[in-house]
Amino acid sequence: MPPASYTCTSLSLCPASTAINRLSILAAHISNTKHVYILAAVRTPMGAFQGALSHLSAPELGARAIEEAVKRARVKTEDVDTCVMGNVLSAGVGQAPARQAALLAKLPASVCCTTVNKVCASGLKALTMCAQAIRLGESRLAVAGGFESMTNAPYLLPSARSGWRMGHRVAEDAMIRDGLWDPLGDRHMGAIAEATARQRGISREEQDAHATRSFERARAAVARGDFEGEIVGVPAKVDKKGQAASADVMLVTHDEPPDAVNLAKLAKLKPAFAKDGTVTAGNASVIADGAAALLLGGDDAPVDPSRRIARVLAWADAELQPGDFPIAPASAVKLALERANLGVEDIDAWEINEAFSAVDLANKQLLGLPADAAHVNADGGGVALGHPIGASGARILVTLLGWQPSAMAVVAPRQ
């Protein structure tokens, strides 16, 4: 005879598995799902390629963001039970990059860690995985985000293990092979962006104008101090010129990429991926190092409710053919809006990842947004600020929360 009280975890195995009983169990489960809140959001500065953050590994950058996010939410580290972080260029980083970052950030050894590699969407996918765990009651406090040190991506020696008997061999750049190259279509991401620009009728002039806006907005945001609240300083061992720092190790607190381009020369840059192309180094995202982290919690999270800065309403994934990756965000956005019972016109603030200017412009076309919309990437995007691949999905959300803390907002990385 069964005990008077028990828990049934499978609807099909319940003794009285009538349709009514199954529906009542499902209804009870749905009523118990939790709201998901963002309790803290922080990022490191975006470091230029071989710049001020180049001495730090990707997990070390991630640890800095994680530690600060937990600190800002004023929670105990031992209460954090989950850590999911994006990281794409993991060759040479070492085992379990997310766990490295979590433990370096002084989270408890009991924290369950997962590393996500979904290319540019990694950091935001990490957040949705944590949100799912919280909504289902599997987690109370979770850290989500991403980190990348593109500077420290190694060179690879394919076939060296089996022996190089004679002749010259080639070292492959892990940054390109693992982060910027379509292995199925055997072409650079930039070549795909070039094809998308051609298919969508996006001109070189439009892309350069977009890039100019991105840099101007980012520089204006820096001048206004918009990023100060979202950035945690990172101790540096070298100065901005690569020279040894003084005994008092300086703190890197500002994004390096926005000042790296002379906008007057933007229109003179040569196409990077096709002889008669439109995508250049100036209207593509900047290679960068950096990290971002957010702390998420549910209704029962051990934290003061006043620490809640946003609620996650809905999310969605969308996949297309690899050659159509630039326009995948629009498909995901439409599905997420549908799940939230909202329309494009209801959204006050947008962040669309600027892997290339052509990507942002193509998705604006598909969503019916003006090319120069002031409420899209209001403080600039990856073209100006940099695109550390595994971190960018989280970085754009951190920035969005910084400039529109009380708005209805959408974040869309490409994948």
Structure tokens at 290: 């950096």
Contacts (Cβ under 8 Å, ≥6 apart) of 334: 367
178 to 99, 197, 379, 390: CA distances (angstroms): 21, 24, 29, 12
CB 284 within 8 A of CB 260: no
Q: How far apart are CA 387 and CA 120, in angstroms?
A: 8
pLDDT of residue 34: 86
pLDDT of residue 237: 75
| Residues 319-339 as b or e (16 or more Cβ within 10 Å = b) | eeeeeebbbbbbbbbbebbee
Q: What is the pTM of this model?
A: 0.90
pLDDT of residue 407: 66
pLDDT of residue 343: 97
Question: Percentages helix, strand, coil for the chain, rounded to the nearest 5?
Answer: 40, 15, 45
Which amino acid is residue 358, in one-letter code?
A
**What would the CATH number be for the domain defined by 35-158+170-415?**
3.40.47.10
The residue whose two tokens read 């980012």 is 218
Structure tokens at 253: 């607190």
The residue whose two tokens read 């590699």 is 117
Low-confidence ranges of the chain (pLDDT < 50): 1-16, 242, 244
The structural domains of the chain, with segments of one domain joined by +, span: 35-158+170-415
Q: How far apart are CA 106 and CA 76, in angstroms?
A: 11
